[in-house]
Amino acid sequence: MLLSFAISVLLPTARVFGGQIPVVEGVIGGVPSVSSTNELLEFPQVTSNITTPGKLRVVENSGVCETTPGVFQASGYGDLTATESIWFWFFASRKDPENAPLALWFNGGPGSSSMIGLLQENGPCRITNDSTSVTLNPFSWNNEANVLYIDQPVGVGFSHGDTKVGTSEAAAADVWSFLQIFLNDKRFSHLKKNKLALWTESYGGHYGPTFAAHFLKQNSAILERKISGTILNLQVLGIGDGLTNPLAQYPGYLQYAAVNPYHPLVNETVLAAANISWTTPKTGCRDLIIACNAPVWNTTVCSQAQSFCNNRILSPLAGIYDVYYVLTPDPDPYPPQISTYLNNVASKIGGEVQWSQSSRVVYANFANTGDWMRDSSPDLEFVINSGVRTIIYDGDVDYILNFNGVEAMVADLKTIWSPLFKQQKFKSFSVRGQATGLYKNAGKFSYVRIFGAGHEVPAYKYGKLEYGEAAAQMFTQIMRDESLSST
């Protein structure tokens, strides 16, 4: 109860429903004050003391969510140490699970639970509008792959224990350690040989490149016998509506707020003020981001950049609209909240703590290091150049990681496929004959902008299509090592 109170004082009455990116002291993606951070840390989450370091603790076939006959599921914890436990929920593929790829899913935040993706987006079941039950999802991503949803870092969602992680690099190390435990458990060891894919969204624009690059570098270290471990057969990286390169992406807020496919978000006065905040020499957002990514930088500069840019640009340019879906005023009640359902089924699936959508403690850790404003595109370039099939996707109704910024980030990449990508023209992405987006392919790199989709692309429908149908086609093609194509 005390922790809940400490968190609540950080939240305004609006802009808290269903979002992955926390609102801190009235600012979307703000930086907590020292007093707020200290207040949070006075009340650590209560954890279970029954751990098995280096092992999994599993509930098999709980009957919750995936009700397709004969489809295996498992949920529980991988204990990194006696005081650090990472929650997972695994769903076997609905077809040929022994040979199907293994797809990892991570939501963003930083500090948000991957149960968001499971229940609101691409999992075997979808939350109903009353938030108390679920229905089977015919376009679940486990139609094509074994899917593993992971709550990370420690302290997020059902994960619990010492909340030490505050950078994407530290998070990557813990996820790698968790996967070593997971893939060496007899229930899942057969998946070592299968294709591994990493899918993520939102702050996943940082997580995806950083995690994938870490996996590849660990693989090399194993092959060179510098460390011991299991090779991760990473072949796919997918990033939806992601924050990767802030310097390239923040002008997108100015562009999208003024002109987008739907309606302007703010008036000229607000736009003008935000433009000044972007361009002012030395103290403006642009120069603060540059300083954060200079060869010599410090966490104070990066935290200052996050605080200033989100207070002066990201937050005000949203106007009255929901930052995740600009067709509705804030807050949009869709997708429905999932906390009631998850806490009702927690005992059945092995959850050991009260589930919450976002951890303010983890978020504060990241805000204090300034990780938000660091550029993850060098890692993304490394992954692409290493031969990993990569797709970047975005919903055109999303403001908070809008397609203007994401496409500018993609255009700024310097990879083996970048020259070819720039030569391509956008093509219509159709699903069952319904034009539902625009896409480009270049070698093993693809980008697609999905019409009518908000921040959580698989949660939406467009035209005659069903919820998640367009995203499922994209996922299936990429997982089959195909470039995007229309149907």
Residue 446 bears catalytic tag: no
Handedness of CA 393, 396, 398, 403 (dihedral sign): positive
Catalytic pick among 202, 277, 356, 446: 202
Residue 202 bears catalytic tag: yes
Catalytic pick among 330, 371, 379, 398: 398
Residue 206 bears catalytic tag: no
Give catalytic residues, as residue numbers.
Answer: 202, 398, 455
